[in-house]
Amino acid sequence: MSGSAFAIDVTGVTKRFGDKTVVNAIDLRVQRGEIYGFLGPNGSGKTTFIRMLCGLLTPDAGTGTCLGYDVRTQQADIKRHVGYMTQKFSYYEDLSIRENLDFIARLYAVSDRRAAVQRSLERLGLVNRSHQLAGELSGGWKQRLALAACLIHSPQLLLLDEPTAGVDPKARREFWDELHRLAADGITVLITTHYMDEAERCHRLAYLAYGNLLAHGTLADVLANGRLTTWTVTGPELSALAATLRGRAGVEQVVAFGTTLHVSGRDAAQLDAAVAAVRSPRHEWKKTRSSLEDVFISLMDQAKDNFA
């Protein structure tokens, strides 16, 4: 395997289904031991891209490597060194946690299977539940089982496709704490998510919309490159104020956050003029840093739906 610093290094990766391009010439580099967040709206091509990286789909165009193996010609080698966690729980609900892990270890021909299963149970805090049927588990415990199964063959890269959807906040936090421990041990993680708080816990981010890579870099890079200006406003009758603001030149987003409105736009001068036109002593206005959600909604609004 290559000694490259990059676990993923691909250029121009493209996938088409019929006359629709669902992944369009994506370049991506992910460093070893990095947690890389992959974000975008439903149907943006995230899952298709992940399946090409882990050897389940062959790109129609593009070149590159995953863990040093060619993504077009060495897919079997990639599969042996990658752990892939799908959106849908995909283990046997009429088998126990231990039996599920033993079965996955058999598939990967893991040596000293019993010891490997025990290590996975201990690492994810599953020992006391090891004889519980998978079908009886809550969402958070199913998630732990799925991650334990991903790790059973000691992969160097984890590809996690919306792994925390429908999981409570405490279980999500514990899951992310485990991901950071894995990254500290040198395991690379590529994860898709719709949760902005999770995105902010990644080392770097990429934003995909309708097959196109629109932004990538650290959180600070993505926020800066979004070139979005945001005002917050508090005071009475915010619903009426929001209606007044919407449609004005320079105003792209007007979003309520509890008792506060966020008013955003990419043309700072036009936005400031729109704000000045409606300001009154009844409301308090402050210019603030745009949130990750503000930036991503702006990027999505700019993108063209390739299935429209």
Q: In angstroms, rounded to a whole number, what is the distance separating the alpha carbons of residues 79 and 269?
A: 51
CATH of the domain at 115: 3.40.50.300
Q: In angstroms, rounded to a whole number, what is the distance separating the alpha carbons of residues 178 and 190?
A: 14
Q: In angstroms, rounded to a whole number, what is the distance separating the alpha carbons of residues 184 and 180?
A: 6
Query: Does residue 83 share a domain with residue 62?
Result: yes
Kindly report, residue by residue over 15-29, the tens digit of the pLDDT. 999 999 999 999 999
Query: Is pLDDT above 60 for 308?
Result: no
The answer to whether residue 308 is domain-embedded is no
| Residue 70 tokens, joined | 């060619």
The answer to whether residue 191 is domain-embedded is yes
How much is the pLDDT for 42? 84
pLDDT greater at residue 308 or residue 276: 276
How much is the pLDDT for 304? 64
Kindly report, residue by residue over 207-223, the tens digit of the pLDDT. 998 899 999 999 999 99
Contact 85, 159 (CB under 8 A): yes
Q: In angstroms, rounded to a whole number, what is the distance separating the alpha carbons of residues 24 and 305?
A: 13
Q: Based on the structure, what is the number of domains in the chain?
A: 2
* pLDDT band of 306, cuts 50, 70, 90: low
Query: Does residue 197 share a domain with residue 148?
Result: yes
* Residue 215 belongs to domain spanning: 6-221
How much is the pLDDT for 2? 52
Query: Does residue 135 share a domain with residue 263?
Result: no
CATH of the domain at 235: 3.30.70.330
Kindly report, residue by residue over 88-138, the tens digit of the pLDDT. 778 889 999 999 999 999 999 999 999 999 999 998 899 999 999 999 988
| Residue 104 tokens, joined | 């996955």
Q: In angstroms, rounded to a whole number, what is the distance separating the alpha carbons of residues 47 and 42?
A: 10
How much is the pLDDT for 305? 64
Query: Does residue 85 share a domain with residue 184?
Result: yes
Average pLDDT of the chain, as a whole number: 91
How much is the pLDDT for 233? 96
Which of 192, 221, 250 finishes a domain?
221
DSSP SS3 for 241: helix
How much is the pLDDT for 40? 86
DSSP, res 34: -
The single-letter code of the amino acid at 174 is: E
The answer to whether residue 211 is domain-embedded is yes
Query: Is pLDDT above 90 for 183?
Result: yes
**Distance from the Cα of residue 197 to its chain's centroid:** 11
pLDDT (average), residues 153-158: 94
CA angle 163, 190, 217 (to 5 degrees): 125
Query: Does residue 96 share a domain with residue 150?
Result: yes
